[in-house]
Amino acid sequence: MNQLNHYVSYLTRYPRLLASAVLIGVPVANALYMHWSLSRFVQHGKELKRLTPSIKRTISSIPDEALSSDYVMFHDWAQRSIPASKVPDLSSDQLVILYLRHNMSCFARLPQAYVMKALANPEERKTFEPSYINTLNFKVEDVVQGMYRVIARSEGKVEFEITPLLGVMKGGRLVIAVERNGDDELVCSSETVVWKDAGEKELMHLEKGVVKWLHEIASWGLLREGTKYLMSLKKKTEV
């Protein structure tokens, strides 16, 4: 306690230092709380290991040449289940389109998207605009956020190829799904995998602490927003 009083006394003698500490500390504390809160809202997991054929159980578009090469992958996933009765009576494919339009428009306002947009060419920058995103049905070859190209489609599921922009990443996939689990449950999920040469010591962006942490906040936060959005559509139809 005496040590704490010493620091408080020191900061009050230097108001500019106190102001700086508050300006830095409050946003960091908010971000820490957000990460903790979101981690309790969704089921999630991650792994760093060799890229093996087992990954194709959930991501069908991983190229065979990547599986036959010596690559190591960073793989993470998150999902949230909601009662099927709380969303509109639409097919999984119709729901995933609505879900993606909403979430991709939300993502375009996040700091990560501004960085991606700065690296994009003028044509790619158009794919960040909600007016463009809301026209998409996420068919194969559709591009969104500049670096995500639809490479595979199935009922209620969209697989995006991630275009490497910087660093040592050799390839990647983002998979978004809205799938029914029986008659009573709807599972919304997000899965990301990126890979590099196994002997490469430099870290991929998603292996780096702060970037990985921000990625988790974005991924889990969009999962929360997307499920809330789908449930809000049911409420609108009941009004």
The domains of the chain are located at 1-41, 43-238
Could you confirm whether domain 43-238 is CATH 1.10.10? Answer: no
* Contact by Cβ (8 Å): 181, 100: no
Q: What integer is the mean pLDDT of 173-201?
A: 93
- Looking at residue 111, its pLDDT comes to 84
- Looking at residue 21, its pLDDT comes to 39
Q: What is the pLDDT of residues 9-47, one digit of tens each?
A: 544 554 554 344 344 443 455 556 566 566 677 888 988
Q: What integer is the mean pLDDT of 193-222?
A: 89
Q: What is the pLDDT of residues 92-126, one digit of tens each?
A: 999 999 999 999 999 998 888 888 888 889 999 99
* 87 or 7, greater pLDDT: 87
Q: What is the pLDDT of residues 49-96, one digit of tens each?
A: 999 888 988 999 999 888 878 899 999 999 999 999 999 999 999 999
- Looking at residue 208, its pLDDT comes to 87
- Looking at residue 102, its pLDDT comes to 97
Nearest to 217 by CA among 101, 117, 110, 74: 110
Q: What is the pLDDT of residues 122-160, one digit of tens each?
A: 999 999 999 999 999 999 999 999 999 999 999 999 999
Q: Which helix (H) or strand (E) holds 113?
A: helix 111-119
d(CA 175, CA 189): 8
Question: Over 50: is that where the pLDDT of 238 sits?
Answer: yes
Q: What integer is the mean pLDDT of 185-197?
A: 95
Enter the tokens of residue 159.
């697989």
Question: Over 90: is that where the pLDDT of 178 sits?
Answer: yes
- Looking at residue 18, its pLDDT comes to 38
CA gyration radius, the chain = 21
- Looking at residue 97, its pLDDT comes to 97
d(CA 207, CA 200): 12
Which residue, chain included where needed, has tokens 């660093």? 167
SS (H, E, C) 150-182: EEEEECCEEEEEECCCCCCCCEEEEEEEEEEEC
pTM equals 0.83
